[in-house]
Amino acid sequence: SLNNEGKELNEHRVKKFKLLEFVDFFISSSLVHFRKPDVDIWKIGLDIAQAKPSEVLYIDDRQMFVEVARNLGINGIVHENYESTKTKFEKFGLSL
């Protein structure tokens, strides 16, 4: 998970939404000192995941951030609503 949140807000969201149940790690701009759309935040995520860009699916509600990820070779989905994101997931062999 990549985010531009402060440390306290990130910790709050992780606990409130039980994100540790399905997210392996969090890259928070407040800790790594890079912010989206700086490509270095995605590169840190790829390095930590030890993944190739083509093996990653990035989801964001901001088209600009998805485009930056795509320019790095990362698959991207713009989240608009639950149903459209669910349909887009299916194209990648994923389900909700």
Tens of pLDDT, residue by residue over 77-86, are 999 999 999 9
- Report whether pLDDT(17) > 90: yes
**Residue 66 token pair:** 């998805």
CA pair distance 69, 76, nearest whole angstrom: 7
* Backbone torsions φ then ψ of 29, nearest 5 degrees: -55, -30
Q: With pLDDT > 70 as the criterion, what percentage of the chain qualifies?
A: 100
Please state the pTM of the whole predicted model. 0.88
Is residue 69 over pLDDT 90?
Answer: yes
pLDDT at position 96, please? 82
Collapsing DSSP to helix, strand or coil, 38 comes out as coil
